[in-house]
Every structure is written in C-alpha cells, then in structure tokens.
Amino acid sequence: MKIDDLMASSGVKFGTSGARGRVVDMTDRVCFAYSLGFLQHLRSTGAVVAGGDVGIAGDYRPSSPRIMAACAAAVRAAGCRPRNFGGIPTPALAAFGIAERMPTLMVTGSHIPDDRNGIKFNLPSGEILKDDEASIRAQTVVLPEAHFAADGSLLAPALPMEEDAAFAAYIERYLRFFPTDWLAGLRVGLYEHSSVARDAFHALLTGLGAEVTRLGRADTFIPVDTEAIRPEDVQLAAEWAAGGQFDALISADGDGDRPLVADARGEWLRGDIAGILCARELGAAAVVTPVSSNTALERSGWFDAVLRTRIGSPYVIAGMQTLRARGLAPVVGYEANGGFLIETDIELDGQRLPALPTRDAAIVALTILGGARRRGVPVAALTEALPARFTYSDRIKAFPTELSQERLAAFATGDADADRNAVATVFSGAFGPVASVDHTDGVRITFDSGEVAHLRPSGNAPELRAYTEAASPDRARDMNRVCMEILDGWRR
C-alpha cells in the first residue's frame, strides 16, 4: 500500500507538518500505515535505527489515546521502541525529541473541532519539512492484516507505561532560562479550557513568581483557535478582566503550540503582534514570518532582517535556515497564530535557551509578561510602541479546499494586469483601487490605501480564511466582515 494512494482513498491528508482528517476516517489501520511510512522514511535516511526509541504524546481529544496506541503498534512493527509521554504540549515532545536525538509522533488536531484529529511527525532535529513529506507519501507499506479487525481497528491496542521525562524537561527548559523572579508580583489568569498545555503553563507561571488563578477548566474538548478567536473567548476574557484583578490572561490552543495573551483589559493580542513583541524582548536579529502577518514587523525597524514565506511552519523553518546560513543570529520565526519558533540559541542575562525550531506557546507568554515587568509597563504599553497596523482574521467553515482553489484561481492567471482587474472587479467597490496582488500563498491584495486583504484555503481543514490589515482595529474588523460576506457568496 502506497501512502499517497491511502491519502486519496481515506481522506486523511497532509496538512501542516502531518496528517489530519476526520476521526471516523483515522482508523487504527490508517494511522498505523502513516506512522509506518514515516518510520520507513527515517530508516532510509538513517535518522532512526532498529531498536531505537520513538516518542509518542497526544492532546486531550477523546480519540487521541486510541490513535496513540495505533502509532505505538506501528513503532513496534518497524522494529523500534515506543515511549509514551502522555498528554503534553507539542513543543514539549518536540524539544525532548531534539535533546534525545529521537523522532516523535504527536497526536493532535491542534485548534480544530474534536471530530477531527491528526498525527504530527517530528524528526530527531525537529519538524518534518516538505521534502520529508514527499518521501513519506512515496513510501509503500505492508500492513500485518492479522492485527486488525474488519473495521480497521487494532485487535490488541497497547500503550507503554507513561513517562514524565518530556514534561519535566519542558518545565526545566524555561525555569532555568528565565530569572527566578521573572514574573514576580504579576497577577495572571490562566484560561485552561481543554488545552494540553494547562498544567505546564501553571507550573511555569508559578515557578517564575506569578500569582496564578486557574480559569475555565473543561472536561470536554473546546476548539480554541488563536487565529480566529471565538466570540465566547472574547466575552470570557472581558468578564475575567472586568474586576481589575489580573495584569494579564494567558492561554493556548489544544496542543499548546499557539499562545493567547491578553492585557489587563482582557483584550487578546493578535498572534502576529505577540510574535513581534516576543522577538524584540529576546533580542532577535532576524525574523521569519508568513505573508499573512502584520506589516508592523517591518515598519517597527527593530530587526536587521525580515523574510516572508508561505503560510505553514515548514516554510518558516526553511526561511529561518536560510537566514542562519547567511550568518545572522539570533534567528527566530513566528506565525499569525502566535506560534513562535527559535532557530538559533538565545542568550538572556547570561543564560542560554537552546533552539526549538517548532511552534511554541509558552515562550511567547513568558517573554511578553516578563518583558513588560522588566520595562515597568503594562502589557498594553508594549503594543502601543508598535506602528498603528491592525489585523483581523476569520474563516468560512465547511468550505471545500477544491472549491477555494477554484475561486481563487480567477485571481491567479499568471497575467498581472488581468489578475489586478479581476480583483478590482470584486473588491475595489469596498476597499478602493488595487495597488498589487501577491500570490506567495493564496491571494494577498494591497490597496492604494495601504490596506490589505489576504484570502487562502486553510492547510488543516476545509475552510477558506480571510486576513485583513488596516490602520485601526475597527477598520480591519469591518474589512474582514465584508470579505466574509463575499466569500460566503462564493459557495452558493
């Protein structure tokens, strides 16, 4: 069975750094096959050998333990030893794998609803890149059919005994790097919901001196999306902040690689603004981010080099590697969802933070809060130092990827004048004359006013996303509302 063919027949396809699909389609048999294909790829490159360790962890979705067991079965079939690190953040698993030179498998669907899930593949050096993905897709795997029932479930699923080594190492990573009083005196509300990062965040915040109140813990999975924040989460933050008892609110998405940081007013920072602030406080010289991120990055003048890429952490990682090869350091990256990546080691007050070239939420929350405390200002004052550029994003759900691509193809014919005219026909009535159209990832339109509208299919779900940028938050929100109305009309 070829993995590429399985993608077509099962509906479980590659998204960002791994396979994702509907839980009903992610049978044990399918998950076993994908994991085996990944391990065969590693064997072909020498990144894992017979008898080698492979780490496994998962988020709090109901389907995650079952899929973790299928991954463990594939690891054994590949002649390797599975290690179960339980429910921990994606970056905690990746960091431990890098430190131990061990590949890892993270079972998570990130921010999407729990009727979907995924498997994120990490090399001993970090996330898989697009070349690795191509090799995995090309693998032909032979499944031990006697291990599966007719419905594709394992007949004898089993996970090894859970270990806490990866969780402990993640906590130590930041407690060792930051001063012990980094957050002393700060009052922090921790929005826990169903994030697998909630216990790690509590340990880190309290360990660095913050006074922490745990909020909103949930036993059922809640799809918190840091890039398209739910109205419910906006309302919760406003209610928690109303009493004035918090200096900040902190949270993360389901697998803990995308942060949410709110100021004392309960206003969630956009992920791309949080990325700029984090990069500045860490003393980054060079920054990589996708084209969808706020242009305040360049306008700030805080960094020696900025590189824009397609959306997705593999592209950000490749961009960071490019800047590192130029001799730049420290090199970091971030995405519009707030996930922060570190390509080169960071030095702060004589302490070294090892590189972690995968999305992380904790570094953003800890750095921004501690940076505000060190400067003696509230979190809101950090954002006020930036140029007045504001972004907003939303998405149309249940919008088939093929239809998204078909609609956007009308603006990407290869003829610049024709593309500009096609865009103007649809959008100029609302946003004015078109200055340029960028096809780096989807269709990013810059208008003569300097305002931006960026349209692209999601890489992880059947959704069509719109990102807007303007000189005020109200204008960015209004632009996005208009885009949503236009995009919604496209599926009729």
Two structure tokens written together for 405: 């691509």
Q: What is the mean pLDDT of residues 359-385?
A: 97
Give strand ranges (E) for 295-442: 305-309, 331-334, 340-342, 346-348, 351-353, 356-360, 390-396, 434-438
∠310-356-440 over CA atoms, to 5°? Answer: 5
pLDDT band at 223 (very low <50, low <70, confident <90, very high): very high
Mean pLDDT along residues 150-168: 96
Q: Distance (Å, rounded) from C-alpha 415 to C-alpha 421?
A: 10
Q: pLDDT of 63-91, one tens digit each?
A: 999 999 999 999 999 999 999 999 999 99
Q: Rounded to whole angstroms, how far apart are CA atoms 306 and 295? A: 10
Across all residues in the chain, what is the average pLDDT? 95
Residue 186 three-state SS? coil
Q: Is the confidence at residue 492, as pLDDT, over 80?
A: no
Distance CA 44, CA 60 (A): 33
Task: Specify the pLDDT at position 228.
Answer: 81
Q: Across the strands, what pairs with 470?
A: 390
Closest alpha carbon to 103 in 117, 85, 115: 85
The predicted pLDDT at position 491 comes to 80
Contacts for 255 with CB less than 8 Å, ≥ 6 apart:
59, 89, 90, 106, 108, 110, 195, 196, 197
Confidence (pLDDT) at 393: 86
* Residue 280: predicted pLDDT: 98
pTM: 0.91
Q: Which residue has the higher pLDDT, 401 or 88?
A: 88
Please name the helix (run of DSSP H) or strand (run of DSSP E) that holds residue 85, with its range, or none.
strand 81-87
Place of tokens 């990490």: 122
Note the pLDDT of residue 246.
98
Kindly list the catalytic residues.
110
Mean pLDDT confidence for 119-134: 94
Over residues 381-389, the mean pLDDT reads 94
pLDDT band for position 227 (cuts 50, 70, 90)? confident
Residue 14 dihedral angles phi and psi, to the nearest 5°: -75, 130
Angle at CA of residue 37, ends 112 and 340, nearest 5°: 40
34 has a pLDDT exceeding 90: yes
- What pLDDT was estimated at residue 460? 67
Strands (E), 185-274: 187-193, 211-217, 248-252, 259-262
Q: Which of 414, 418, 460, 454 is nearest to 314 (CA)?
A: 460
Predicted local distance difference test score (pLDDT) of residue 63: 98
- Condensed to tens digits (0 to 9), the pLDDT of residues 432-475 reads 999 999 999 999 999 999 999 999 998 767 899 999 999 999 99
Residue 306 has pLDDT above 80, yes or no: yes
Neighbours of 30 (CB within 10 A): 23
C-alpha distances (whole Å) from 175 to each of 38, 205, 209, 413, 463 are 33, 9, 10, 52, 38
pLDDT band at 410 (very low <50, low <70, confident <90, very high): very high
The answer, yes or no, to whether residue 17 has pLDDT greater than 70, is no
Percentage above 70 pLDDT, the chain: 99
Other CB atoms closer than 10 Å to residue 177's CB: what's the count?
A: 20
Average pLDDT over residues 130-142: 94
